[in-house]
Amino acid sequence: MPFARILGQQVPIDVLRRALRSGKTAHAYLFEGVEGCGKKSTALAFIEALFCGTDDGCGSCPSCRKMGNRQHPDLHLVEPDGAFIKIDQIRELQREMNLRPVEAPVKACIIDDADRLNPAAANALLKTLEEPPGNALMILLTTNPARVLPTVRSRCQLLRFAPLPAPLIEEQLRAEGVEPDAARLAASLAGGSLSRAREREGDETDVSQRRVLLERLRALSLNDITPLFAAAEELAGDREQAINQLELLVTLFRDILLCQAGSDAIVNRDLSEILHEEAGRLPQNAIMERIAWVSEAQLALQRNANPRLTMDRLLMRLAA
């Protein structure tokens, strides 16, 4: 995969291409960013270019063709086995990385979801990062760098991948044949993730989720906290679910602001009637305050806060 096929990550791509041109690539990288923003595609493109001996893969030589099929003998992929990446997986990887490359100038590995290395696996990997084989390249991918062992992080060159802009995701979805309104809605709810936008597009359960969430917000009251805590428990579910719900909240509050401004650029068009009712009920400063609270809760969850306590606190603030 050439770098040109990767959407919206020019900054990290430029860093990697400069390293390829200078011949001074790091022995280990940590790619950080939301799921589906292009980290793994960039890692594969970087390795393809390195194996090809250029600053971008040609796509036609035997090495590039093998990389395109992910069948190159010097490429190794590690993913969680169940909930975690286990020490046996890392030990097997270490054996492979200590061997001479079969065809390429180096052996390369991609460790996906590096934040899910269990403690034993992380400590075993640390030994390889501290004393890397001379002909090895390691790329760790994570959506949650705070959960990667600090000593592992410190031995990698960090590259941050920004969430993809919604207009760029919308443009890509439309190029793939998605209807304009559906593309706009999926892009706005994707949180900067192209893969998430593809999953959301055409998801009928997503439509009902947004309506239920908005109705639940309207019914919040500190006069009866039992339903409030029940809602917080359901919304928290797990960390990923909680983050998704907060992303939905941000788009709903944003649309309420747009309704107040008389704009027709709202993305939740199917909820237009309820959104206009909320726009008439809440003053603008109250909506801005709510957006700030939701953003604060998002940041807390990304920093490994307890999902249930985070949602309890947020819903109590929204109810007040």
Q: With 60 as the cut, is the pLDDT of residue 202 above it?
A: no
**Are 35 and 195 spatial neighbours (Cβ–Cβ below 8 Å)?**
yes
Domains detected in the chain: 3-160 (3.40.50.300), 203-319 (1.20.272.10)
**Residues 6 or more apart whose Cβ sits within 8 Å of residue 154:** none
Residue with tokens 């390829």: 20
Phi/psi zone of residue 158: left (φ > 0), alpha (ψ -120 to 50 degrees), beta? beta
Predicted pLDDT of residue 222:
67
Query: CB under 8 Å, gap of 24 or more: what pairs does 215-219 form?
Result: 215/274, 217/249, 217/252, 217/318, 218/274, 218/278
Q: With 80 as the cut, is the pLDDT of residue 181 above it?
A: no
Higher pLDDT, 46 or 299: 46
* Weakest-pLDDT range from 173-182, 187-196, 203-212: 203-212
pLDDT digits (tens, 9 = 90+) for 32-87: 998 889 999 999 999 999 998 888 888 888 998 898 888 899 999 999 988 899 99
Higher pLDDT, 182 or 103: 103
Predicted pLDDT of residue 245:
77
pLDDT digits (tens, 9 = 90+) for 224-255: 777 777 777 777 777 777 777 787 788 888 88
Instruction: Report how far residue 29's alpha carbon sits from residue 42's, in angstroms, rounded to the nearest whole number.
Output: 12
Neighbours of 123 (CB within 10 A): 15
- Band of pLDDT at residue 206, cut at 50, 70 and 90: low
* Mean pLDDT value of segment 294-320: 82
**Are 257 and 284 spatial neighbours (Cβ–Cβ below 8 Å)?**
yes
Instruction: Report how far residue 154's alpha carbon sits from residue 17's, in angstroms, rounded to the nearest whole number.
Output: 22
Instruction: Report how far residue 313's alpha carbon sits from residue 306's, in angstroms, rounded to the nearest whole number.
Output: 11
Written as one letter, the residue type at 311 is M
Predicted pLDDT of residue 208:
63
Structure tokens at 62: 């035997």
Instruction: Report how far residue 296's alpha carbon sits from residue 303's, in angstroms, rounded to the nearest whole number.
Output: 11
Among residues of the chain, what percentage have pLDDT more than 90?
30
Q: Record the pTM.
A: 0.74
Neighbours of 208 (CB within 10 A): 10
Predicted pLDDT of residue 201:
63
- Band of pLDDT at residue 139, cut at 50, 70 and 90: very high
Predicted pLDDT of residue 220:
67
pLDDT digits (tens, 9 = 90+) for 6-26: 988 999 999 999 999 998 899
**Are 7 and 168 spatial neighbours (Cβ–Cβ below 8 Å)?**
yes
Predicted pLDDT of residue 109:
94
Written as one letter, the residue type at 48 is E
pLDDT digits (tens, 9 = 90+) for 283-295: 888 888 888 888 8
Predicted pLDDT of residue 285:
86
3-state secondary structure 9-75: CHHHHHHHHHHHHHCCCCCEEEEECCCCCCHHHHHHHHHHHHHHCCCCCCCCCHHHHHHHCCCCCCE
pLDDT digits (tens, 9 = 90+) for 84-100: 999 999 999 999 888 89
Instruction: Report how far residue 133's alpha carbon sits from residue 76's, in angstroms, rounded to the nearest whole number.
Output: 15
Instruction: Report how far residue 153's alpha carbon sits from residue 140's, in angstroms, rounded to the nearest whole number.
Output: 9
Residue with tokens 């990887």: 93
- Band of pLDDT at residue 305, cut at 50, 70 and 90: confident
Instruction: Report how far residue 49's alpha carbon sits from residue 47's, in angstroms, rounded to the nearest whole number.
Output: 5
Instruction: Report how far residue 33's alpha carbon sits from residue 159's, in angstroms, rounded to the nearest whole number.
Output: 9
Written as one letter, the residue type at 249 is L
Structure tokens at 69: 């099929």
* Weakest-pLDDT range from 16-20, 110-114, 147-151, 203-207: 203-207
Name the 3-class secondary structure at 249.
helix
**Are 164 and 4 spatial neighbours (Cβ–Cβ below 8 Å)?**
no
**Are 136 and 167 spatial neighbours (Cβ–Cβ below 8 Å)?**
no
Instruction: Report how far residue 76's alpha carbon sits from residue 91's, in angstroms, rounded to the nearest whole number.
Output: 13
Among residues of the chain, what percentage have pLDDT more than 70?
95
